[in-house]
Amino acid sequence: MQTPPMLWRDEKLSLSYPFDWRGIDDFSILPLDAQQIPRIYVNKKFGWQYNPVTIAQYGLHFLNSFVRDGRVRDQFVARSMAEWLVDNQQEWKNGIGAWIYQYDLPFYGPRAPWISCMAQGEAISLLLRMSMMGDRKTYESAAQRAIRAFLYPVSAAGVRQTFPDGAPVFEEYPTSPRSLVLNGFLFALLGLRDFALHFTDKPSQRLFELCISGLKKNLPRYDTGYWALYDLHPTRRLASEKYVRIHVQLLHIITAITGDEYFTKVAKKWSGYLESSWCRFRFTASKVVEKIRLYGKT
């Protein structure tokens, strides 16, 4: 892939995050602890847990609200999430600073402890933006420790994996067999690019470009001809309507970054699936069969 002119040269990291959760997730309904940090309910065994992805997204959402509306409270919420990420980053392996999941994920198979490319990438995106608003060294240092996860394969405790053709990709869930969740990979790519921009880091820039090239070649694997897949796990689960919308927005963002209209072309195709009554009928019928196949029930 040829890098479009001005893709990196003289470009600076924007304070606003490119993804917009409005109309997709309602962060106002998230349960908060006494320190106003969101938590999620995992299951009966693990109960309420802190999910680094949820916390990073919560922070990015409120940071965007601050940039848009100027409310000091929104800035305070974003900073509180960044501080939680700094305080809860742990030494992993190979010098990786990680947000470690301390609960199992039965469907895909990872057992605690494990790490996620999506958590690493979205945390980096929030930390670097907050570094632009103060306490620069603290937030930058945490991001520099976190980026190391992208340098190591899953087999060496990192988040790097490969598509079937050998192209690099990042794992939201470090599974065997590979799951290759699309939205997790794309959010991780945004974090990788944010790091490359903020630090003018050539290795991160090159890795991002390799991943974009691989994404372009492998994106058709997620297309069933009437709907988008959530991942490339052997179970071949269809994405929910919500996640197709997330895919579409992320692909438009990738086009804005790279200048490659191919990603917009795919985004428009997948938007067409959402608007087609026939595609929606096939999706609904296929999800019923999928649930019976995977869970033995509708």
Q: What one-character-per-residue DSSP string does 21-70 give?
A: -TTT--GGGS-B-TTS-B-EE--TTT-EE--HHHHHHHHHHHHHHHHHH-
Q: What is the distance between the alpha carbons of residues 125 and 239, in angstroms, rounded to a whole number?
A: 25
Domain span holding position 244 = 231-298
What's the pLDDT at 2? 47
Q: What is the distance between the alpha carbons of residues 261 and 235, in angstroms, rounded to a whole number?
A: 30
Q: Does 263 fall in a domain? A: yes
Q: Does 5 fall in a domain? A: no
- Are both 204 and 243 inside the same structural domain? no
- Are both 201 and 274 inside the same structural domain? no
Q: What is the distance between the alpha carbons of residues 160 and 149, in angstroms, rounded to a whole number?
A: 8
- Are both 114 and 77 inside the same structural domain? yes
Q: Does 298 fall in a domain? A: yes
Give me 97's structure tokens. Answer: 């600073």
- Are both 156 and 191 inside the same structural domain? yes
CATH number, domain with residue 203 = 1.50.10.20
- Are both 186 and 243 inside the same structural domain? no
1 band by pLDDT with thresholds 50, 70 and 90: very low
- Are both 209 and 164 inside the same structural domain? yes
209 touches 154 (CB < 8 A): no
pLDDT average, residue stretch 219-237: 96
pLDDT average, residue stretch 65-81: 96
175 band by pLDDT with thresholds 50, 70 and 90: confident
Share of the chain above pLDDT 90, in %: 86
115 touches 92 (CB < 8 A): yes
- Are both 126 and 92 inside the same structural domain? yes
- Are both 67 and 105 inside the same structural domain? yes
Q: Does 48 fall in a domain? A: yes
What's the pLDDT at 107? 79
Q: Does 19 fall in a domain? A: no
Q: Does 77 fall in a domain? A: yes
- Are both 284 and 169 inside the same structural domain? no
pLDDT tens column, 3-52: 444 356 668 899 999 999 999 999 999 999 999 999 999 998 999 999 99
Give me 284's structure tokens. Answer: 């609904």
From 222, 252, 276, the end of a domain falls on 222
CA distances from 194 to 56, 161, 188, 241 (A): 14, 20, 10, 28
pLDDT average, residue stretch 214-239: 96
Pairing outcome for strands 168-170 and 160-162:
antiparallel
E strand or H helix at 90: strand 90-91
Q: Does 247 fall in a domain? A: yes
Q: Give the contacts of 193 (CB within 8 A, at least 6 positions apart).
A: 204, 208, 257
From 163, 193, 222, the end of a domain falls on 222
Give the chain's domain count: 2
pLDDT average, residue stretch 219-234: 97
Residue 12 exposed, middle or buried by CB count within 10 Å (0-12, 13-18, 19+): exposed
Q: Does 6 fall in a domain? A: no
Say which amino acid occupies 37: I
From 222, 240, 269, the end of a domain falls on 222
pLDDT average, residue stretch 72-97: 97
pTM: predicted TM-score of the whole model, two decimal places: 0.95
Question: Is the per-residue pLDDT at 243 higher than 50?
Answer: yes
- Are both 77 and 145 inside the same structural domain? yes
